[in-house]
Each structure stands twice: as C-alpha cells, then as structure tokens.
C-alpha cells in the first residue's frame, strides 16, 4: 500500500533520455532511424513513459501527438479571484504529479485514513505515465464575461490576439459545447490516464470551476513530429502531412510561439489554441466515389501523396493541369485552400483527434474530428484560413462545425515554485 | 429513496467506540479485534465467511467475489437492520468492509445479482470492545442529533397522519398540499430511516426499485395517483400501510443513537441524495416537488454538521469556515427558487438554473466529505 502511495505507476524509466518535449522528439527520431525490433521496443517504452511537466513552453503542444485525448472546458463559478488563483496552484501541483505517473493528491487513492475519501480517484492505479500531458488555456470570457463583466480584474490583460472568433459560413455551433473560461487538454497514450487526469482536476476545482463541456478523442489525426507516421482521419485520409512539427525550429518561432512584443508579456512563450468539433457525415462520404473523395481532399487516399505526385511528402503542384486543361488539384480542394501558399504563408500546428460520440438517433454515427490547432496569432492564421475554407472547401458538404473554442495558453510552468497563470494574475 | 444505505446504525453500546477506533492504534485499525481480516468467499451460490464467532469491536471483512454476478455483502442485526455493507463487488474483485459490532447475534449475507434476501449465515459477537474515552464534544454531538431526530420524527408522524387522512377522505387538493410537507421531515433524516432494511422501500420506494413479488406502496405510489390520474379512491389501504410503516420507523429511529462518524457520513449522504436524485428530478417525477426535498436534505445535512460543530471547531476550524461559506452559497442559490412558503417545481427551472444548484452542491459536498476523517481522528 505504501509503495503504491509513493508512486502510482511503475514509471518506465527511459534510460535517462528525456523522451519528451522538443528534446524528446530528437531522441524519438533517433530511435526510429534505428529501425527493426529495437525501434519497436523503444517506441513502446516511450509511449508508456513520462513527459516532463516543467519547461519553457507547456507540454502537449509540440510533444509528439499522443494517441488519446480528453479535452475539457470550464466555467469559473467563484467570484473570488484569490480562490481561482489558489486553484491554479493546486491544479499545477496535481498536474505535475499526474504527468509523472503519480496520484493526483499527496495521500493518494489508497494511502489515506479509511474514513476520508481518497484524494485520487484511483482508476489510473498501476498504469504508467503514458506520456500524459496537461495543457491549460484561458478563454476570452475569463477576461470579460458574456455580460461584459470584468470579474477578476483581467480585462486589461486580454491579448488582442485572443479574438472572439467570427461566424464562419456554415457554422452550426451549439453554445453549450462551445467556449469556456478555462480549458485543459489532456493527451496520453492510454485513454484511462487522460480521463483520470481530467476527472481529478474537475474534482479539485469543485466550487471554483464547473465543467462546461468535455470531449474524448480516440485517435490522433496529426503528427507533431517527423518521427511519427501520419495518421488517418475518419474520412480515411492521411491528415496533417504538412503540419508544423516539433523539429521546425525557426518556423515554430514564426508560426507557433508568441514572441516578445507580440502582446502582453504574460503570453510570451505561449500559444493560442483553437478548437473546433467538426461532425463528419461519414455515411454520405462513404457513398462518394474514390475519385470524388480524392479530388475533394487533393491527395490520394492510399499514400497520401498530393494529386499528380507519388510520395506523401512531395510538395503539391498547384499549377499542374490535367489533359482536360483543369487543375490536377481542384480549386475547391481542401489541400489547396488550407495550404500556406493560399494563406499568405500562414501555418498551424494541428493536433486533432477522431471522435465517435455514439450515434445520433437517426441511424448514423455521431463521428468526426475534434480539431485542435496552436498558433502565434489566430487573427493571421486560423481566422483567414478558416474563412477561406468555410467559403470554398468542397469538403464542407460532409462537415458540420458544432463547437468552437479559443484559448490563450500561457508559457510553460518553469519549476516547482511556478504555477499556471502566475504571470497573468501576478 | 436510494438503494445504498450510507449510515450504519450501531446499537447504543457501540456508540462510544465507533468512529473513535482509529485512535486506538494501528494494529487494531489494520485488522480485526481478534486477529486479522475475515475472508469472505462469495460466489453465485455460496457465501463462506472465514470466522463466524468474533470478539466485539471493529471487524474487517475481505470479500472476494469468485462468481459471475456482481455481488454485495451485508452484516444484518435482528430485523435486517444494516450494520454494514459493501456494494457492487464485480466478479474477480476483492472489497473490504469495516464495521463496528457490539456483542450480539447477527447475520451475514452475500447477494449475487444484488437482489433478494441473499445467502445468509449466522454471526456471533461476544465480549465488550475496548473503548477509548470519548471526546466530550463528540458525545454531545450524538445527544444533540438525537434530539433533532426526535423532533423531526414527531413532525413526520403528525404530517403523515394528516396526509393519510386527506387521502382517505378523497381530498386530492389537500393531499397534494400536504405531500411535500410530510416528506420534508422524512427527507431531513432520510439516511437514518434508510438504515432500517425493508421499511425504507415500503415508505419511499420509487416505482423502478420495486422488485417482482413486492407491491409498489408508500409516498411515491400515492404521489403517482394524485398527480397522474387524480384518482385516489383505491388508495385507502396503501395510506393505512404508509402510516403503519412510518410509525414503525419512527419508533426505531428514536431508539437508536448515531455515532459521530455516522453523523458525518449522514451529512454527506444527504447531499449525495440531492446530487443524484433531486437535481435530476428523479425523486418526485410526478409531483415535481423535488426542491422541497432538496431543501430538506440540505437542512438535515446542516443539522448533522451543527451537532458536530463544537468538535469540528476544536479539530478543524478552517473546515468549519469553509462549510459555513458553502452552506450559505447553496442556500442563496436555492433561495432564488422559493415560491411562497414552498418551492418552485423542478420543471420550472431552466437547465442553467439546475446547473448552478448542482455546482453549489458539489462545492459543499467536497469539504463535507472530509468531515468523517476529522471526526474519526
């Protein structure tokens, strides 16, 4: 009992190599290069291991995308600023423990007195850290709520880049699963570990915050590292081939991390998060022909190569024309409209997840993509890109955007004396 | 009504020891009065209890379910009074039950499939438990809460009599008006009442918990008739039975003393009632008078905490401050929905209003869940 109290999960040590964050990516890529059986076992070890919680940036952004997601948005229900700050401190401590594979509280799931409820809910007992990352963000309503109130004296600190997203053509947003004052993104290679983390944070937050909505994702749809194979979304296509990746050094500064002078100092080193729950009408998609599907996407379904090219990572040739004189990659294709060439060079770091929330009562799967994108400035990145896609993307026939969120994710928690939101509330 | 019973009523003699046993030392806490946990092998057809004669004091049962069905394990005193129970033991799982047993004869029961009387066995407890000198403030808590139970059960009896008379007189309007009032006194002390085995489902059982071979009776049966058809012409015998059952439970409740630990768990159990049954509108699905019950549960919880207050102020003053603030917060949130002397119907509240109530109950229930350990230390 006492052993499991100290460390819930038998942390799989990774031979001292920090297999996490940007540093870990290089190690991961190295392991891949070795190939064969060695590669398989290295991958397995990494998948179970821990991602460092402290650092310059929050983990869970360039961390190689884990397989599972539990995302939650909270409303702040207290009016007491000091209690909110106290909670952010408690959350930070719990997050540091859970990402290291330990119980949420210092006593643990089974270590306390029998009369007290345990300070960890227990469902992750015996599970490894599973690369759990917890990433926090602040929504526009934290700074000024829907009634225009500045509840916590933060209105003057709202970054201009934290815009209220405009209405995009075709949006069918449900307010009750959109927005939120705070968000936490939990990613892990074991869904139980991700759910455990969110559940415990929600519990710790009772009386201060209340769950507004939450979303499970069962499979990643993006790679955030060159060491990862490109996964497929529920349309059956590879997704995220041209994503920003952890190895992209200079590009990350340009497109991902908030730089000094961009806005308020508290966001320097942070990133802006946009979430969109995109329902896919998979039943009608599945009835469309292969050639139609490929023209809509702009890539081949098998290899993921741009149409007219042979390899997934070949650059698309948007000027190429077919025998009929029409562009090989259609003007309304997703890959063309989303490509940096069509968006003044704007790029996103996407780390979305497939979801199936049961069925919709009409004999259809309630399925789709929970889109997650990180960026330096949504005004220059997500908003113009999505405006273009919403107007022209041939894929829209099969999509419904039902939930939307935007959050300012502050820089990383530096050490044990730091906590989420310290600079914002300081 | 809920199927779980949080409060375990011990006989008066056990009062001084229950909840204070944790002060008695680690070795005692870890096992059983006369050496180690008692293994219980539960299957779908058997319930083997490792030892069936024990010394008085704290006993730990380790129940292992080797069957294919989910099971439960109970220790009953005479009349199927629940002394302790552990529920929802899935196949292959081992669960622990800690229970304080004074000398007497008991029955153990495994309930594979979680229904019926279960597989019974005899259990004999003898001797006297080593007692720790009770804290004066905690002793007073018991006496104080006992007075509260006496006052509530007296009112419960009076109001039930009036309700029953109205039903038998065929006065639908009067019966409807009295229904939530009589239930208020029930809901304030609900965890106490629930510990008396079969009486609780007869008085407060909802339609879906009635098992085959059992009649749907009690408050909710009459509620259904009052609010759906308005025809209570055949409800006379049910009303008579309700009064008989309420009289029986009132007598039993007044004969019991609750330990401080049971008070603490009861305060939490009442909020669990709100969170799981009243917020959702499940409890009063025909009359929609759930907010009456909500308020009564809240008052009952507050009364239990009030009885413990002197002890809590000595041991955990910061927790008392937090509880005061959160009780006030719930009362404010609920107070918005007053309607004259009573409460708005559950159906009149928007989802956002219900969420606000739910948030406030969660904010209170989390610190209340810490009270038991404070009392036990």
Q: What is the pLDDT of residues A360-381, one digit of tens each?
A: 998 899 999 999 999 999 999 9
Q: Extract the tokens encoding A193.
A: 């570990």
Give the SS3 label for residue B105. Answer: strand
Q: What is the DSSP string of B213-282?
A: TS---HHHHHHHIIIII---TT-HHHHHHHHHHHHHHHHHHHT----HHHHHHHHHHHHHHIIIIITTT-
Interface touch B375/A77, C-beta < 8 Å: no
Chain A contact for B364, CB < 8 A? yes
Other C-beta atoms lying within 10 Å of the C-beta of residue B297:
27
Cα distance between residue A355 and residue A358, in whole Å: 9
Q: What is the pLDDT of residues A173-222, one digit of tens each?
A: 999 999 999 999 999 999 999 999 999 999 999 999 999 999 999 999 99
Q: What is the DSSP string of A38-98?
A: HHHHHHHHHHHS---S-SSS-TTSSSPPPSEEEEEEEEE----HHHHHHHHHHHHHHHHHH
Considering only CB atoms, which chain B residues are within 8 Å of A116? 369-370, 372-373
Cα distance between residue A353 and residue A64, in whole Å: 13
The distance of B23 to chain A (nearest Cα, Å) reads 11
- For Cα atoms B231, B233, B236, give the angle at the middle one, nearest 5 degrees: 125
Cα distance between residue B260 and residue B306, in whole Å: 11
pLDDT score at B35: 65
Instruction: Report the topology of domain B21-126.
Output: Immunoglobulin-like (2.60.40)
Query: Which residue has tokens 């069957």?
Result: B67
Q: Extract the tokens encoding B52.
A: 């069936």
The domain in which residue A26 lies consists of 1-9+18-426
- Tell which of A78, A114, A174 to mutate to test the B interface (max B CBs under 10 Å): A114
Cα distance between residue A214 and residue A73, in whole Å: 6
Q: Which of residues 235-274 of B touch A (CB under 8 A)?
A: 261, 264
Among chain B residues, the shortest Cα distance to A113 is held by: B373
Residue B58 near residue B130, CB atoms below 8 Å: no
Cα distance between residue A252 and residue A349, in whole Å: 9
Q: Which of residues 60-99 of B touch A (CB under 8 A)?
A: 98
For chain A, the domain total comes to 1
Residue B293: DSSP 8-state: H
Checking if the pLDDT of A306 tops 70, the result is yes
Phi, psi of A71 (to 5 degrees): -110, 140
Instruction: Report the topology of domain B136-376.
Output: A middle domain of Talin 1 (1.20.1420)
pLDDT score at B88: 67
Residue A390 near residue A168, CB atoms below 8 Å: yes
pLDDT score at B63: 92
Q: Tell me, yes or no, if the two domains B21-126 and B136-376 fold the same way.
A: no
Chain B contact for A77, CB < 8 A? yes
Among chain B residues, the shortest Cα distance to A77 is held by: B359
Interface touch A117/B261, C-beta < 8 Å: no
Cα distance between residue B262 and residue A82, in whole Å: 34
Looking at per-residue confidence, does A136 or B206 come out higher?
A136
Helical residues (DSSP H) of chain B, grouped into ranges: 26-30, 136-168, 172-188, 190-194, 199-204, 218-224, 236-254, 260-273, 290-315, 317-335, 351-368, 371-376
Q: Give the closest residue to B11 by CA, choosing from B72, B79, B61.
A: B79
Q: Which of residues 105-144 of A touch B (CB under 8 A)?
A: 112-117
Chain B contact for A146, CB < 8 A? no
Q: Which of residues 316-335 of B touch A (CB under 8 A)?
A: 326
Q: Which of residues 371-410 of A touch B (CB under 8 A)?
A: none
Interface touch B373/A207, C-beta < 8 Å: no
Q: Give the closest residue to A374 by CA, choosing from A63, A69, A26, A25.
A: A63
Residue B249 near residue B196, CB atoms below 8 Å: yes
Cα distance between residue A268 and residue A262, in whole Å: 8
Strand order in the sheet with B38-42: B47-49, B38-42, B57-65, B94-101
Residue B9: DSSP 8-state: P
The distance of A171 to chain B (nearest Cα, Å) reads 24
Out of A115, A207, A210, the one facing B373 most closely (by C-beta) is: A115
Cα distance between residue B125 and residue B106, in whole Å: 8
The distance of A207 to chain B (nearest Cα, Å) reads 4
Domain positions in chain B are 21-126, 136-376
A95 Cβ neighbours under 8 A, 6+ residues apart: A53, A134, A197, A201, A420
A413 Cβ neighbours under 8 A, 6+ residues apart: A53, A54, A55, A58, A92, A96, A419, A420
Residue B21: DSSP 8-state: G
Among chain A residues, the shortest Cα distance to B20 is held by: A115
Q: Give the closest residue to A292 by CA, choosing from A346, A358, A235.
A: A235
Residue A127 near residue A190, CB atoms below 8 Å: yes
Out of B358, B359, B372, the one facing A115 most closely (by C-beta) is: B372
Considering only CB atoms, which chain B residues are within 8 Å of A177? none
Cα distance between residue A321 and residue A329, in whole Å: 8
Residue A408 near residue A162, CB atoms below 8 Å: yes
The distance of A74 to chain B (nearest Cα, Å) reads 12
Least confident of A233-247, A256-270, A284-298, B91-105: B91-105
Other C-beta atoms lying within 10 Å of the C-beta of residue B78:
10
Residues of chain B with pLDDT under 70: 1-35, 79-82, 87-88, 129-134, 197
The distance of B98 to chain A (nearest Cα, Å) reads 9
């Amino acid at each position: 009992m006492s052993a499991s109290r100290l460390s819930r999960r038998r942390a799989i040590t990774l031979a001292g190599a920090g297999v996490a964050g940007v540093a870990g990516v290089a190690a991961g890529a190295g392991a891949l290069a070795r190939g064969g059986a060695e590669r398989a076992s290295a991958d397995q070890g990494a998948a179970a291991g821990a991602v460092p919680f402290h650092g310059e940036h929050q983990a869970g952004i360039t961390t190689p995308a884990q397989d599972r997601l539990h995302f939650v948005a909270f409303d702040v229900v207290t009016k007491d600023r000091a209690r909110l700050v106290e909670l952010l401190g408690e959350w930070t401590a719990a997050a540091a423990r859970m990402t290291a594979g330990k119980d949420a509280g210092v006593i643990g799931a089974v270590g306390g007195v029998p009369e007290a409820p345990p300070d960890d809910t227990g469902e992750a007992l015996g599970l490894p850290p599973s690369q759990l990352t917890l990433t926090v963000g602040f929504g526009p309503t934290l700074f000024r709520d829907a009634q225009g109130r500045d509840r916590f004296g933060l209105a003057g600190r709202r970054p201009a880049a934290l815009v209220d997203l405009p209405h995009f053509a075709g949006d069918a947003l449900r307010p009750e699963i959109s927005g939120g004052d705070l968000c936490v993104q939990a990613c892990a290679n074991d869904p139980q570990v991700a759910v455990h983390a969110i559940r415990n944070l929600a519990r710790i937050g009772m009386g201060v915050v209340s769950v507004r909505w939450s979303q499970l994702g069962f499979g990643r749809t993006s790679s955030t590292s060159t060491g990862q194979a490109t996964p497929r979304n529920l349309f059956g296509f590879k997704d995220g081939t041209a994503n920003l990746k952890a190895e992209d050094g200079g590009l990350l500064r340009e497109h991902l991390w908030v730089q000094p002078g961009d806005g308020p100092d508290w966001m320097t080193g942070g990133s802006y998060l946009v979430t969109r729950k995109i329902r896919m009408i998979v039943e009608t998609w599945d009835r469309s022909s292969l050639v139609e599907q490929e023209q809509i996407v702009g890539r081949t379904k098998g290899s993921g190569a741009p149409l007219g090219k042979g390899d997934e990572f070949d650059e698309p040739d948007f000027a190429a024309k077919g025998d009929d004189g029409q562009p090989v990659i259609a003007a309304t294709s997703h890959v063309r409209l989303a490509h940096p060439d069509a968006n003044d060079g704007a790029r996103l770091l996407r780390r979305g997840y497939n979801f199936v929330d049961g069925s919709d009562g009409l004999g259809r799967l309630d399925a789709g993509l929970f889109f997650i994108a990180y960026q330096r400035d949504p005004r220059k990145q997500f908003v113009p890109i999505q405006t273009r896609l919403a107007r022209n993307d041939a894929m829209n026939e099969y999509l419904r955007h039902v939930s939307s969120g935007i959050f300012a994710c502050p820089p990383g928690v530096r050490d044990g004396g730091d906590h989420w939101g310290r600079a914002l509330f300081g | 009504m809920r199927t779980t019973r949080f409060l375990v009523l011990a006989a008066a003699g056990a009062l001084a020891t229950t909840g204070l046993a944790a002060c008695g030392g680690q070795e005692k806490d870890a096992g059983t009065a006369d050496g180690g946990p008692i293994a219980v092998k539960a299957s779908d057809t058997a319930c083997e209890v490792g030892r069936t004669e024990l010394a008085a004091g704290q006993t730990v049962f380790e129940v292992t379910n080797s069957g294919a069905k989910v099971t439960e394990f109970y220790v009953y005193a005479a009349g199927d009074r629940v002394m302790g129970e552990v529920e929802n033991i899935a196949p292959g799982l081992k669960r622990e039950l800690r229970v304080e047993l004074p000398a007497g004869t008991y029955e153990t029961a495994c309930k594979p499939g979680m229904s019926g009387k279960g597989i019974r066995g005899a259990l004999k407890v003898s001797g006297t438990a080593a007692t720790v000198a009770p804290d004066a403030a905690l002793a007073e808590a018991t006496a104080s809460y006992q007075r509260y139970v006496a006052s509530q059960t007296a009112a419960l009896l009076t109001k039930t009599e009036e309700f029953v008379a109205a039903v038998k007189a065929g006065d639908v309007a009067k019966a409807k008006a009295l229904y939530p009032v009589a239930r208020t006194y029930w809901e304030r002390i609900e965890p106490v009442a629930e510990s008396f085995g079969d009486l609780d489902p007869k008085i407060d059982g909802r339609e879906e918990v009635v098992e085959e071979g059992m009649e749907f009776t009690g408050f909710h049966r009459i509620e259904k008739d009052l609010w759906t058809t308005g025809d209570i012409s055949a409800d006379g015998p049910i009303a008579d039975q309700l009064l008989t059952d309420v009289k029986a439970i009132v007598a039993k409740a007044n004969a019991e003393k609750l330990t401080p630990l049971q008070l603490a768990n009861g305060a939490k159990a009442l909020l669990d009632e709100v969170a799981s049954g009243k917020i959702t509108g499940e409890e009063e699905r025909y009359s929609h008078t759930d907010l009456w019950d909500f308020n009564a549960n809240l008052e009952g919880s507050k009364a239990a905490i009030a009885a413990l207050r002197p002890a809590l102020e000595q041991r955990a003053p910061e927790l008392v401050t937090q509880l005061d603030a959160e009780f006030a917060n719930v009362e404010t949130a609920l107070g918005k929905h007053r309607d004259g002397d009573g409460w708005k119907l559950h159906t009149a509240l928007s989802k956002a209003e219900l969420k606000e109530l739910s948030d406030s109950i969660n904010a209170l229930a989390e610190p209340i869940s810490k009270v038991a350990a404070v009392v036990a230390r």
